[in-house]
Amino acid sequence: MKRFTKEESSWIFYDWANSAYSIIISTAVFPLFYKAAATNAGISPSDSTAYLGYTVAIATFILAMLSPILGTIADYQGYKKKFFTFFFALGVTFTAFLAFVPSDQWLLLLVFYTVAAIGSAGSNVFYDAFLTDVTTEERMNKVSARGFGFGYIGSTIPFIISIAIIMLAQSGTLPFSTTIASKIAFLITAIWWGVFSIPLIKNVHQRYFIERDQSPIANSFKRLGKTMKEIRRYRALFLFLLAYFFYIDGVGTIITMSTAYGTDLGITATNLLIILFVTQVVAGPFAILYGRLSERFTGKKMLYVGIVVYIIVCIYAYFLETTMDFWILAMLVASSQGGIQALSRAYFAKLIPKKNANEFFGFYNIFGKFASILGPLLVGVTAQVTGDSSSGVFSLVILFIIGIVILAFVPEPKAEETSKTAIL
């Protein structure tokens, strides 16, 4: 970290902070906690997986609608940090609230989870946009990849603590149930997320902005309308967003639905937690590796590599039968999920004008979030219709293929052209 500036390091540490939510709430402990609550309420495994998918879709739809509007307003001087802080506080608060929901109230769990998810994803919109404020265009791949790498590494610490508490409770060593242990994990997540976000809040500031005027909200809508009309004229930007829409759909769906999918396949909760922990450990170095390789082979070529790996993941998942198969699947995902996300973020940041970073990252988010609606819905509907979650995962292959084909038409950003978005 000595090779990074104070602003870069503070920005990177938010990935360290927020990734605890991603692994414990989005991927591991909460889905298992929810699945157990739903099962106790008499909900079938396929239905409870579908309801979780629908919940993710609802949360992402709400944020997708808000992101471009809030992002456009946040481009004005002084607004970016305020919006970031609001969504960050919302996410931390409702993550903590999950610990106080009765374990038999599966529907209320999903409601609180929805609000926490909006807070987490909403803060990430403005966090991603801060990338243009903290570093130079030449360092964006490295800084973005380091953020994801530290996120995966940092998240293992609260995850280990949470797993240890849950397993000790399960064995009877601790004087409380696994239900209480899971709720403690929710509180640990909220505390970790809150504490390690302090460096960003303290040291990162909005360097690029639009000067305030007398009617910032009204003018923000005017700017948003103008951008929506003209965005197709930004050929490189439009094609990248279109490609991103398809391939990130599969990435996000696999991340958010993996635990529920593994549960449906009969993999025990203990094995799932161990697999997810190892996945985080492996994913960290690979995310950093993607950043380094992108300096040698370009970010676009490394995005190709990541997409191809995910196509293999989807095909392999269809034939998955054993716990060992799930281990192999998880390691394949670990090798590329951080890299593909980090390089996508940096690639997009190089294509946009810095002073409009929030507005354009709002569109980046809406493309990603609308894609995240399609994927979970596809898996949910397919699981209910066929009674087999594997079919839903396999169907994601077509999205990765479409994404990689469109990406082939996106030009590689040139260093001298990244300070502005050229109209082509």
Residue-wise pLDDT tens digits, 141-183: 888 888 888 888 888 899 889 989 988 998 888 898 889 999 9
**Nearest of 343, 334, 245 to residue 298 by alpha carbon:** 343
Q: CA angle, corner 288, sides to 283 and 290, nearest 5?
A: 90
Mean pLDDT is lowest, of 112-126, 352-366, 404-418, for 352-366
| Confidence category of residue 423, pLDDT binned at 50, 70, 90 | very low
**What contacts 274, CB < 8 A, 6 or more positions away?**
163
Q: Please report whether residue 43 resides in a domain.
A: yes
Confidence at residue 113, expressed as pLDDT on a 0 to 100 scale: 93
Mean pLDDT across 393-418:
77
Within a domain: 249: yes
More confident residue, 192 or 63: 192
Q: Is 65 part of a structural domain of the chain?
A: yes
- Integer Cα distance of 125 and 247 in angstroms: 19
pLDDT for the residue 232: 63
Is 418 inside a domain boundary?
no
In a domain, 304, yes or no: yes
pLDDT grade, residue 36 (50/70/90)? Answer: confident
Domain annotation covers residue 424: no
First to last CA, the chain: 38
Confirm whether 423 is domain-assigned.
no
175: domain CATH number is 1.20.1250.20
Is the pLDDT confidence value at 407 over 70?
Answer: yes
Place 363 in a pLDDT band, splitting at 50, 70 and 90: low
For the chain, the domain total comes to: 1
pLDDT, the chain, mean: 81
Q: Does 29 score more than 80 pLDDT?
A: yes
Alpha helix stretches (DSSP H) within 172-268:
178-195, 198-203, 216-230, 235-264
Instruction: Please check whether residue 60 is in contact with residue 375, taking contact to mean a CB–CB distance below 8 angstroms.
Output: no
Res 239 pLDDT > 70 = yes
Rounded-to-integer distance, Cα 120 and Cα 197, Å: 12
Is pTM beyond 0.75? Reply is: no
State which residues form the domain around 403.
6-204+220-411
What gap in Å lies between CA 295 and CA 290, rounded to an integer? 9
- Confidence (pLDDT) at 209: 75
Residue 341 maps to a domain: yes
Q: Find the range with the poorest average confidence among 7-21, 68-82, 158-172, 215-229.
A: 215-229
